[in-house]
Amino acid sequence: MKKRSCIIYILVALLLFSSCSILQSDPSGQVENQPYSFKRQNISYTGLYSGQMDKGEPQGEGRFIVSSAVPDSEESRKNGVFSEYTGSWSDGTFEGEGTLTYADGSVVSGEFLSGEYDGLMTTITTDSEYELAHYAHGVLYGLVRRYSASGALLASDYYINGESIAPIKESAKTADYYSLFYEADDYAGKAIQLQGTIVKKLERENSSLFLIRDSAGNDYAVTSIKPDGDTRFLTPDSPLLLVGDKVNICGISTGLYNYDFTNTALEADPENSVPNAASPSASPQAMEFSYPSLRVVSAEVEGLAPFDPAAPAMDYSLFLRYGSYYKNTSYQFAGTVREIYLDSKTHSLELMVLEDGSQNSVFYVTYSYATGESLPLRGQRVEIEGVFQGSKQVLSTDAQGQLAASYYPQLAASRIVVSP
């Protein structure tokens, strides 16, 4: 009898242990009001999650309602404490399209990457005003615009690496070539104002490198970060800069830069030869390729109208020069297909389209098509609707066999209709 009782006790204990293990296992699949905790921006959140889960972590679409939020410090609290998130998740954090509701009632919608803002974000405040701003891995950059509930522009500012550029521009000192050359380390990190003409330009993956000559004939190496690379949070407040432009630049001194600007593969102004930049008191062998260097914070081009965020003009020259400012702006036009590239594996088209009524207003258009859809051919007239994606650089070889760059406004088409 005692032996049978012991066996029963053992079986009951095993059953209870098994039940506890099942209850404590990481859930997968669709869940409702599942307790979940995670950390974001040094704030520990606890709450209830409803949506898709994989091994105890939100994965896919879901909603998280906060029950408690504990910042690591008061500094962490400045990032803002949210009360609810609805949208896409990956590996237990925000990833993809989503909406955050903060404790103060403001709502932020847009694209997330690894839990951080990453892309164009829309913030709606409790008084129904709203703000449009770009982020890269959580860092604010580019043109920030604030609108009233009726859509009227209230204010705008430009940011680089999370900071307004206004104080930088106010502190900029006029460039002194001799000091920047021989006392480069003393000026590193300081704001400098430079006026000159772009003599040469070299395109790189994440930046453009310019040789700029001032009125005294002194040459500077100037770098401008591109708006679509990994370092886009350093994108300057600047139009697309081209060889021959007379420019007024505010930049951060980055010391001396060594480069051979006599390289014939560079895009160059044929009316200006590029001599070695030798200092008057230094030997050419030691100094011929050394230049004071700047990273552009802002730039203005003589004769080019500035971008007006209150009333952006629908003008081709401005589309081309201020491509990143028009990004995500809707546009429609009709024109003739000049060039076409088809990738049947990805169902994608790349088109060069000349706008009706113009001689050189060419757009670079991308389009994802459906199986069986009627597609255009070279020489056909098309009607296009889409949104701007910035400026597109297209490389080609000229008659002398040298590499040359051309630039076009880039449009991601949502609809293409072939005219009969």
Mean pLDDT of the chain: 87
Quick one: 324 and 293 in the same domain?
A: no
How high is the pLDDT of residue 10? 45
Would you place residue 25 in the very low, low, confident or very high pLDDT band (cuts 50, 70, 90)? low
- Report the length, in residues, of the chain: 420
Instruction: Please tell me the distance from the alpha carbon of residue 199 to that of residue 217, in angstroms, as a whole number.
Output: 11
> Is residue 6 domain-resident?
no
Quick one: 283 and 343 in the same domain?
A: no
pLDDT in tens, 209-235: 999 999 999 999 999 999 887 899 999
Quick one: 280 and 206 in the same domain?
A: yes
Instruction: Please tell me the distance from the alpha carbon of residue 183 to that of residue 192, in angstroms, as a whole number.
Output: 14
Give how many domains the chain has, as a whole number: 3
Instruction: Please tell me the distance from the alpha carbon of residue 340 to that of residue 338, in angstroms, as a whole number.
Output: 7
Among 174-183, 284-293, 307-316, 399-408, which stretch is predicted with the lowest mean pLDDT?
Answer: 284-293
Quick one: 272 and 362 in the same domain?
A: no
Give the domain range for residue 121: 22-126
Both tokens of residue 313?
């003009």
State the average pLDDT over residues 148-168: 95
Among 177-181, 201-205, 361-365, 378-382, which stretch is predicted with the lowest mean pLDDT?
Answer: 201-205
How high is the pLDDT of residue 284? 41
Q: Kindly tell me if the per-residue pLDDT of 12 is higher than 70.
A: no
How high is the pLDDT of residue 263? 58
174-202: string of b/e by CB count within 10 Å (b at 16+)? ebebeebbeebeebeeebbbbebbbbbbb
Listed residues 269, 301, 333: the one ending a domain: 301
Quick one: 67 and 44 in the same domain?
A: yes
> Is residue 242 domain-resident?
yes
Listed residues 301, 328, 348: the one ending a domain: 301
* Contacts within 8 Å (CB) and 24+ apart, 46-52: 51/89, 52/89
> Is residue 252 domain-resident?
yes
Both tokens of residue 345?
């594996």
Instruction: Please tell me the distance from the alpha carbon of residue 298 to that of residue 152, in angstroms, as a whole number.
Output: 25
Quick one: 350 and 284 in the same domain?
A: no
> Is residue 414 domain-resident?
yes
> Is residue 145 domain-resident?
no
How high is the pLDDT of residue 397? 74
Q: Kindly tell me if the per-residue pLDDT of 156 is higher than 60.
A: yes
How high is the pLDDT of residue 15? 44
How high is the pLDDT of residue 282? 41
Q: Kindly tell me if the per-residue pLDDT of 59 is higher than 70.
A: yes
Quick one: 338 and 380 in the same domain?
A: yes
Would you place residue 311 in the very low, low, confident or very high pLDDT band (cuts 50, 70, 90)? confident
State the average pLDDT over residues 151-176: 95
Listed residues 67, 97, 126: the one ending a domain: 126
Quick one: 378 and 352 in the same domain?
A: yes
pLDDT in tens, 67-122: 999 998 877 777 789 999 999 999 999 999 999 999 899 999 999 999 999 999 99
Which range has highest mean pLDDT (15-19, 283-287, 334-338)? Answer: 334-338
Would you place residue 20 in the very low, low, confident or very high pLDDT band (cuts 50, 70, 90)? very low
Say which CATH number the domain at 278 has.
2.40.50.140
Q: In percent, how much of the chain has pLDDT > 90?
A: 72
Quick one: 55 and 119 in the same domain?
A: yes
State the average pLDDT over residues 45-65: 96
> Is residue 157 domain-resident?
no
Quick one: 212 and 287 in the same domain?
A: yes
Kindly report the CA angle at 396 between 390 and 398, in degrees rounded to 5?
135
> Is residue 311 domain-resident?
no
Quick one: 183 and 233 in the same domain?
A: yes
Q: Which residue has the higher pLDDT, 310 or 229?
A: 310
Quick one: 277 and 337 in the same domain?
A: no
Closest listed residue to residue 235, CA positions, set 223, 243, 245 = 223
- Please classify residue 293 by burial: count the beta carbons closer than 10 Å to its beta carbon, then call 0-12 exposed, 13-18 middle and 19+ buried: buried
> Is residue 256 domain-resident?
yes
Among 157-161, 293-297, 353-357, 391-395, which stretch is predicted with the lowest mean pLDDT?
Answer: 391-395
